[in-house]
Amino acid sequence: MKMIQIVLYAFLALFIIPQVNAIQMGIVTASPWGTYYQIGEDIRSLVSRHGIDLIVYRSNGSIESVEAVHKRPGVQLGLVQPDVLAYIIYLSAKNSHMRQVAKKIKMVFPLYHEEVHLVARKNLNNFIDLAGKVVAVGKEKSGSYLTANLLFKLAEIEPAQKIEIGSDQAIEALKRGEIDAMFYVAGYPVKLFQEIVTEGLLHLVPIKDKSITEFYPVSTIPASTYPWQNEAISTIALKAVLITYDYKLDNCDNVGRLAKIMYDNLDWLKQHGHQKWKNVDFDFKLKKWEQYECVTKQIKPDSPQSHSSDDDLWNTFKKYLGQQGGSK
């Protein structure tokens, strides 16, 4: 009887005693309705098979995610937009805190193009039609907020009112006719837009203005990406970026190990994850941002010549943010 008890206790201990070898990490993404959150879940699913317990956290957008990676305990990784990174670097010239943030935030990988979704009521057909209208631009610290405001500057138009609310609130306000349009930056397909019923009132508005497309890559949201979208829509895109903090001790090895797992298992992510993984090139070079050395020494990638157009976007930011006095 005593032997049976010993065996039973040993068996239960396997479930009760925590696995000390598992690495605990965190990644901050965005709302559950967006692509960032799904990408974070894909990474979690992959690395959990290799001894890393990754917690996926929500955030209100890219700026908040940068701040979380910089100072929030337990968050080693974040998903952000490249224009938000440029924004942080620009502010670092005048703000000592932002200078420290810019110095410590590093790129793990560039990921995929995320499209600017401009959803509007049927009476709006072009970007310039937003002049004098009521437009939801996302919460203040979101990437959508920053991108929307930059696009207005590039196109030299001004809405009557810019509403700072989240995407789920914005789509409901749009359906009720309380606003005229909303911005949301995310790689298609966006879960929120797949699940809504528009009742024929809403559509995606193309963004083809030369004042905008000369700075941003052009992309297309294919027809029927969403149940209520019958035609392919031309828009612009940004490249999502996986970032980390400039760790020097244990987390250096942990982030490097996670990156190595991702790098060696991109095919698994393409097969089992969000369809945006099919467009990911971990070796793509983004100007102005160097890869975290703890990642580089793990994966030892080739160094292809950069073929991004970030310099144009960078100069645009300096001009735009200079007009804004360097703050928002």
Helix (H, G, I), strand (E, B) or coil at 199: coil
Residue 129 has pLDDT above 90, yes or no: yes
114-238+315-323 has the same fold as 19-112+240-304: yes
What 8-state DSSP symbol labels residue 50?
G
In CATH, what is the architecture of 114-238+315-323? Answer: 3-Layer(aba) Sandwich (3.40)
- CA gyration radius for the chain? 22
Residue 242 corresponds to which tokens in the numbers above?
Answer: 């996986």
Question: Nearest 5°: CA angle at 277, between 181 and 262?
Answer: 130
Question: What ranges do the domains of the chain cover?
Answer: 19-112+240-304, 114-238+315-323
In CATH, what is the architecture of 19-112+240-304? Answer: 3-Layer(aba) Sandwich (3.40)
User: Contact 244/69 with Cβ under 8 angstroms?
Assistant: yes
Q: Which of 3-12, 93-102, 232-241, 294-303 has the lowest mean pLDDT?
A: 3-12
pLDDT at position 64 is 87
User: Contact 107/239 with Cβ under 8 angstroms?
Assistant: no
Compute the mean pLDDT over every residue in the chain, rounded to the nearest whole number.
Answer: 86
Question: Over the stretch 56-92, which tens digit does the pLDDT of each residue have?
Answer: 999 888 888 999 999 999 999 999 988 777 777 777 7
Residue 261 has pLDDT above 90, yes or no: yes
Question: Over the stretch 178-221, which tens digit does the pLDDT of each residue have?
Answer: 999 999 999 899 988 998 888 889 999 999 999 999 888 899 99
Question: Over the stretch 277-324, which tens digit does the pLDDT of each residue have?
Answer: 999 999 988 766 789 999 999 997 554 444 444 455 556 666 655 555
Within 8 A by CB and 6+ apart from 316, the residues are: 150, 154, 215
Q: Model pTM? A: 0.79
